[in-house]
Amino acid sequence: MKIINIDSYFKDIRGYGYEERLANKLGATLILATVRAEPDIIAGCGDCEVVLVEHADTSVNKDVINHLDACRLIVKYAVGVDNVDVSAATARGIVVCHTPNFCAEEVSDHAVALLLSLGRRVVQFNDYVRGGNWAELTIDPPLRRTRDRVLGLVGFGRIARLVARKMSGFGVKILAFDPFLDAQTMEAHGAKPVGIETLFAESDYISVHTPLTKSTYHLIGAKLLGRMKPTSFLINTSRGPVVDEAALCDALREKRIAGAALDVTEIEPLPSYSLLRSFNNVILTPHYAANSVESLVDLRYAGSAAIEAYCKGYWPEYVVNPQVQPKRALAPWKEFEAKADRLVRLNASGQLVDIV
């Protein structure tokens, strides 16, 4: 059996020794590739039964999937599968899974940190003092107390709910828009459900937590940005193309909003010519919200457990197309989870038990 990682992002960060040892124990070969173009993906994956995908912008679309004749399992080493054509995979009997527990704490922490940094002008103050200045900086719009401000959450999944819980301690009022959730669920997590236009008009802080789909591409454009108050801030830790950056730059240049903080951008890495770099009321971080020692353990565990389960004849835990008719019979995940001889395990401290 061949297992391929088509975009081995972590090769230089922490390597793939653990996954290589797992593959060896399973009698498989792990191939580490760094390909993005469709012809290269098709060529590299042609005889591989398991395909691993890490980058959100590596497209595993219908054309790619229709050429993956040997593929039985696609594992997205991240939250969400917006760059994988799940319908096409399902039609071909390919199981698709992801790692939904990865980085929820980290991304919610990062969103809160960006929000507070914007509100308290932390980065502007830092730059001002480092420039040899002190105490004469004019703040426009003026600083406002965080308590009693309004936080609007676009999307109300796991990460947004953690943001709501963490920010509730600051005494903010929380609004949420999510067309896929009922009002009772939002209210149970401390948010008032509203329409998206109301959210943009009433919020002092707007934090984006929606996947990238056809319907959310450039969801936040000139129309919604035009409803924001000139004293309000936009935070995006989800996917860059959800925000129309040209419209955002227009709003910033014309001072129709107070500022923005982005961990994700439409083009990554952010080009040197990007206008976003020119605004001192914009905080930019390099798509790093998900990172921590603990989150990488969670990611490696969930992804590796999915591989082991499938290779041993079981359903992975986090399947996004459970209606698929797999190309071979699979036993329930619960049976695999209960097995004492699993290779992929966590110890009592939450650390991966090494595979030897």
Q: Which residues are catalytic?
A: 239, 268, 287
* Contacts for 150 with CB less than 8 Å, ≥ 6 apart: 172, 173, 174, 175, 202, 203, 204, 205
Alpha helices in 217-291 (DSSP H): 222-225, 245-253
Q: Record the tokens describing residue 153, joined without a space.
A: 């959450």
- Count Cβ atoms within 10 A of the Cβ of residue 164 and give its class: 0-12 exposed, 13-18 middle, 19 or more buried: buried
Neighbours of 258 (CB within 10 A): 22
Comparing CA positions, the residue from 158, 78, 144 lying closest to residue 115 is 144
- Per DSSP bridges, beta strands 282-284 and 259-262 are parallel
In sequence order, the β-bridge partners of residue 183 are none
What value, to the nearest 5°, has the Cα angle with vertex 177 and ends 194 and 142? 80
Structure letter (DSSP) for residue 204: S
Q: Record the tokens describing residue 19, joined without a space.
A: 């996954």
Structure letter (DSSP) for residue 236: E
Measured distance CA(339)–CA(333) in Å, rounded: 10
Neighbours of 9 (CB within 10 A): 13
CB of 297 closer than 8 Å to CB of 65: no
Give me the half-sphere count of Cα atoms (radius 13 Å) on the Cβ side of residue 96: 25
Using only C-alpha atoms, the chain has a radius of gyration, in whole angstroms, of 22
